[in-house]
Amino acid sequence: MSGKDLKLGVVGLGARSKLAQNADQPDQGSSVVAICDPIPASQESGLANFPGAKAYGDHRDLLDLGLDGVFLTTPDHLHEDPAVDFLEAGIAVFVEKPLAITTEGCDRVLEAARRSGARLYVGHNMRHMPVVQIMREQILAGAIGEVKAIWCRHFVGHGGDFYFKDWHADRSKTTSLLLQKGAHDIDVMHWLAGGYTTRASAFGELAVYGGITDRTDRTGQRFSEFVDEANWPPLEQKGLAPVMDVEDLSMANLQLGNGVLMSYQQCHFTPDYWRNYTVIGTAGRLENFGDGPGGVVKVWNSRRSGYREDADVVIEIPNAEGGHAGADPRLVQEFLTFVRNGSATLTSPIAARAAVAAGHAATTSLRNGGNPVDVPELDPELVAYFERGQTS
């Protein structure tokens, strides 16, 4: 493919579709030539973001355009079927996380990639975020010894503004926010721990937003049209989704195949919005305070009695140009290089499936009294295929 622009499509023109603008560089290696969304207003705004593209209303209209790759930035429940269609048409696919909303859906996409030989990439951009890379570098350098436990507290301060006003609140479109939002964090924890969840147990409730009766159908709207960050306290929210059957408070315990134990806690009615990871090893622990520029990662690996704010190592989290502290442009560049050369990537379809499978198992447990649920094993031949870099 060298010497010419990659021809790219974008399917799903919501807020996350702007990610693909990093790939729209005509005469510099790649250009977006086709965009797709069933909503005419979204097509119109999409053409403003991708002026060299032609708009379509059905993703199947893009299958015969000779595309080299496509970005799937649709709502979560619309990842699986289009991904399979594009892969079977021989088109490389970037699937925004999560890969699908069920473990079985993930396996179907993975199998389509292997069967077709088309390249599959999953947009777990947090692997490119400075805060995560700093933590991983410290772990690989042996700063805390061998990892034994990880927990993550995810304070989703914009939960009522974002996720309980549109399709995110409908379990038929997400399975749960424990999966939808948690896929990011579970993937990060898996990466830091060097293993995947084999068993999950969880509890959760629709503890706050379920009692709010002011509802609005926001079909066709985007975040920018209904977000009001001035809303406080959470019980004062207005215009929540007509269908709201996912939990706003979830707590999951996860057991990994390598013996590491993890805990994930997610709350959608906190006053702040950030993630706190704590990683404990055989020789210390590390923790982030803030997950973007201005925050720090601290490492404690000498003995002390009581809490001391002055850690043994303090690393400032840097900023970089582009979304998510520079992670988004790096993610897109990695995908484009992968499409061209099949080179190694930080993201992994197998890891993406593992994150969904953990969230799916935890959700099943949560809705069945907290009983432990085992994660189904993935076909070893599929694992081998992707570990070889998607080559036969």
User: What's the pLDDT score for residue 227?
Assistant: 82
**Structure confidence by residue, pLDDT tens digits, 2-58:** 459 999 999 999 989 999 999 999 999 999 999 999 999 999 999 999 999 999 999
Cis omega (within 30 of 0) on the bond before 98? Answer: yes
- Give the three-class secondary structure for 135: helix
User: What's the pLDDT score for residue 69?
Assistant: 98
CATH classification number, 127-316, choose in 3.30.70.580, 3.20.20.70, 3.30.450.20, 3.30.360.10: 3.30.360.10
- The stretches in the chain having pLDDT less than 50 are 1-2
CB 366 within 8 A of CB 251: no
Instruction: Give the span between the Cα atoms of 124 and 253, in whole angstroms.
Output: 22
- Dihedrals phi, psi of 299, to nearest 5 degrees: -125, 125
- Dihedrals phi, psi of 283, to nearest 5 degrees: -135, 20
Beta pairing, strands 147-155 & 92-96: unpaired
Q: What is the dihedral of CA 82, 87, 90, 91, to 10 degrees?
A: 60
CB 15 within 8 A of CB 221: no
User: What's the pLDDT score for residue 109?
Assistant: 98
Topology annotation, domain 6-124+327-347+376-387 = Rossmann fold (3.40.50)
User: What's the pLDDT score for residue 1?
Assistant: 46
Q: In what order do the strands lie in the sheet with 54-56?
A: 54-56, 30-36, 6-11, 69-72, 92-96, 120-123
Instruction: Give the span between the Cα atoms of 230 and 221, in whole angstroms.
Output: 19
User: What's the pLDDT score for residue 76?
Assistant: 98
User: What's the pLDDT score for residue 3?
Assistant: 59
Closest CA to 147 of 280, 297, 263: 280
The helix (H) or strand (E) run that includes residue 20 is: none
In eight-state DSSP terms, residue 318 is P
The helix (H) or strand (E) run that includes residue 203 is: strand 197-205
Would you call 138 exposed, middle or buried from its count of C-beta atoms within 10 A (0-12, 13-18, 19+)? buried
Domain locations in the chain?
6-124+327-347+376-387, 127-316
User: What's the pLDDT score for residue 308?
Assistant: 86
pTM equals 0.97
